């Protein structure tokens, strides 16, 4: 059986080529993002800075748009729904609206939990790594999300791209782990000693016997006590992400790698323009060797000074490369345009409030430009992230447990509907179409108003407890209104005939009792 350190070194050979290209992509965009494997922990490292800022702006902008599309702040990226095959069998279709209201409340609780955590910060960092390096690893621990860059983990997949093994590497203080310093190491208090840190390896594998993910941690080639843990297959806290999937490769390819040629050219031309402009802006005066004008006198002269000399004795050196600079600047402009279009930098939101329509437009734009990125991120990120979050909330009794055979979560990302906001807009458009086609009077004739109100409330995420009237309350109010209308009509009718001989109680004694019964005492017979 391999030790964790040996297995990590073995898998690092397959990762080396991906890490090298990731480091180069990072140097052209965000140099601090991906570094070599040796820089696992330490102080400030002198990084090579690019000669342009277009790459950094492109990565940050695309990461922000992906973040807006995947985890929108104003709406839910998923919805809970009853399986269609269970409707009519185990669940009455009439109760579906009531279930939608309950599901909407649970969705709101899950989104509030995500908003209160640091998940969006870590996910945004992971998205930048996906764009630059094409790979990222997220661990959903008890204290929140933790991100591992490519230089800190290795992964092994099968032929179908399914993850088989994950090993992470990090340096942790020995005192934190409760480990004694190794005898062959220097004392921690000696200068240049690393004896207080130890390489900790976390090994994650799939246990085929029970279908669960299991993992443990090793330090000094020994298992750390209490580090063993496990999780269900469909709710693993280890999320191995890729930007682009390449068949047969254990690691993904980033967006920057697709345009690394343009970024290289842009960086080289930007360097040439900066250095050339610096040379061109330098002013040097030449004085003829046979001139009467002395260079010292010219250099020490102030503005407006009067000195002896001839103007033809003094000349100015000019580079004369303006045409070459113009060609380079034109090429730079073209490269910047291609890069900004590829990373969706040109379309910048101007509104102060993020709306559902803006999120949908952003998703459509990303889908058109990036192809099936949502399909891959949905499978590798959104579904496991949602399943793990629901499992954690159910275990802590923050939300009720959902029957797996009846209720399923549905991810809504990409160009499809945007959570329950899509349901709202679809319902609204449907009712407007019916009213426009058949006339406004057709709405109460063909549309169930109570059901429509409940669905609108569920799509808005509104708690309808004691807000919407029940069917019993509506029936009672209708009966009361009918009774009041009937009573008023009888009163008016009785008042019209009260002074007639037939209805006069003095002339017809039996009419008094009839008036009392019909009007409920609202109309008293006239007194003599």
- Partners of 135 in the β-ladder: 242
Which pair of structure tokens corresponds to residue 204?
């994650």
Beta carbons of 240 and 166 less than 8 angstroms apart: yes
| Cα gap 171→201, rounded to integer Å | 9
Name 229's Cβ contacts closer than 8 Å, sequence gap at least 6: 214, 215, 216
pLDDT score recorded for residue 308? 82
The ranges assigned to domains in the chain are: 1-274+344-416, 275-301+311-342, 471-519
pLDDT by residue (tens digit) across 296-337? 888 888 888 888 888 888 888 777 667 778 888 999 999 999
pLDDT score recorded for residue 389? 92
Residue 232's H or E segment, with its range, is strand 229-232
pLDDT score recorded for residue 70? 85
pLDDT by residue (tens digit) across 22-51? 999 999 999 999 988 654 555 566 788 999
pLDDT of 418 higher than 50: no
Could you give the residue ranges of the DSSP H alpha helices within 225-312?
255-258, 260-280, 295-300
pLDDT by residue (tens digit) across 256-295? 999 999 999 999 999 999 888 887 777 788 888 888 788 8
| Cα gap 382→437, rounded to integer Å | 40
pLDDT score recorded for residue 82? 76
pLDDT by residue (tens digit) across 59-74? 999 999 888 888 888 7
Q: In the predicted model, what is the mean pLDDT of residues 212-216? A: 94
Instruction: Indicate the pLDDT class of residue 415, thresholds 50, 70 and 90.
Output: very low
Q: In the predicted model, what is the mean pLDDT of residues 479-490? A: 79
pLDDT of 499 higher than 70: no
pLDDT by residue (tens digit) across 171-197? 988 888 877 776 555 454 444 445 578
pLDDT of 405 higher than 50: yes
Q: Considering only 92-101, 344-353, 420-429, 478-487, which range has the smallest mean pLDDT?
A: 344-353
Mean pLDDT, the chain, as a whole number? Answer: 80
- Check residues 460 and 528 and name the one with the higher pLDDT: 460
pLDDT score recorded for residue 16? 94
Q: In the predicted model, what is the mean pLDDT of residues 215-244? A: 92
| Cα gap 203→201, rounded to integer Å | 6
Q: 179, 224, 243: which is closest to 4 by C-alpha?
A: 224
Greatest mean pLDDT among 126-130, 363-367, 377-381, 523-527 lies in 126-130
pLDDT by residue (tens digit) across 101-120? 788 888 889 999 999 998 99
Long-range contacts of 178-187 (CB under 8 A, 24+ apart): 179/219, 179/220, 182/220
Beta carbons of 177 and 169 less than 8 angstroms apart: no
Beta carbons of 123 and 138 less than 8 angstroms apart: yes
Name 69's Cβ contacts closer than 8 Å, sequence gap at least 6: 359, 362, 363, 366, 374, 413, 414
| Cα gap 435→433, rounded to integer Å | 5
């Amino acid at each position: 059986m391999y030790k964790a350190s040996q297995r990590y070194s073995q898998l690092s050979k397959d990762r080396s080529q991906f890490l090298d290209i990731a480091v180069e992509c990072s140097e052209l965009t965000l140099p601090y993002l991906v570094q070599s494997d040796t820089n696992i922990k330490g102080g400030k490292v002198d990084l090579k800075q690019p000669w342009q800022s277009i790459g950094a702006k492109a990565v940050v902008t695309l990461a922000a748009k992906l973040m807006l599309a995947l985890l929108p702040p104003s709406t839910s990226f998923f919805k809970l729904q009853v399986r269609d095959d269970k409707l009519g069998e185990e669940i009455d279709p009439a109760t579906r609206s009531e279930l939608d209201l309950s599901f909407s409340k649970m969705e709101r609780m899950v989104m509030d939990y995500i908003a209160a955590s640091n998940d969006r910060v870590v996910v945004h960092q992971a998205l930048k790594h996906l764009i630059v390096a094409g790979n990222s690893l997220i661990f959903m621990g008890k204290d929140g999300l933790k991100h591992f860059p490519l230089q800190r983990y290795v992964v092994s997949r099968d032929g179908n791209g399914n993850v088989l093994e994950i090993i992470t590497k990090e340096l942790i203080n020995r005192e934190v782990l409760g480990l004694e310093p190794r005898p062959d190491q220097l004392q921690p208090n000696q200068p240049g000693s690393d004896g207080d840190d130890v390489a900790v390896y976390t090994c994650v594998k799939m246990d085929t016997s029970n279908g669960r993910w299991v993992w443990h941690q090793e330090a000094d080639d020994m298992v750390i006590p209490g580090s063993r843990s496990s999780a269900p297959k469909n709710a693993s806290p280890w999320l191995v992400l890729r930007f682009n999937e390449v068949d047969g490769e254990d690691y993904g390819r980033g967006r920057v790698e697709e345009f690394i040629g343009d970024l290289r050219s842009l960086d080289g031309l930007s360097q040439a323009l900066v250095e050339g402009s610096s040379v061109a802006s330098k002013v040097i005066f030449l004085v003829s060797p046979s001139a009467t004008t002395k260079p010292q006198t010219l250099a020490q002269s102030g503005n407006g000074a009067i000195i002896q000399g001839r103007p033809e004795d003094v000349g100015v050196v000019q580079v004369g490369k303006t045409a070459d600079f113009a060609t380079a600047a034109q090429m730079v402009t073209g490269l910047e345009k291609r890069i900004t279009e590829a990373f969706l930098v040109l379309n910048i939101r101007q509104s102060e409030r993020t709306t559902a329509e803006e999120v949908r437009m952003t998703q459509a734009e990303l889908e058109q430009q990036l192809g099936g990125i949502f399909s891959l991120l949905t499978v590798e990120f959104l579904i496991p992230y949602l399943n793990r979050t629901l499992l954690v909330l159910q275990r802590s009794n923050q939300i009720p447990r959902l029957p797996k055979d009846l209720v399923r979560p549905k991810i809504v990302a990409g160009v499809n509907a945007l959570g329950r906001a899509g349901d709202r807009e679809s319902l609204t458009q449907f009712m407007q179409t019916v009213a426009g086609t058949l006339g406004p009077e057709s709405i109460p004739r063909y549309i169930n108003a109570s059901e429509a109100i409940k669905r609108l409330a569920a799509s808005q995420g509104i708690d309808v407890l004691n807000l919407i009237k029940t069917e019993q309350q509506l029936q009672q109010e209708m009966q009361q209104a009918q009774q009041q209308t009937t009573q008023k009509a009888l009163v008016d009718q009785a008042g019209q005939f009260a002074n007639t001989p037939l209805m006069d109680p003095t002339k017809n004694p039996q009419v008094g009792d009839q008036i009392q019964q019909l009007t409920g005492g609202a109309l008293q017979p006239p007194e003599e």
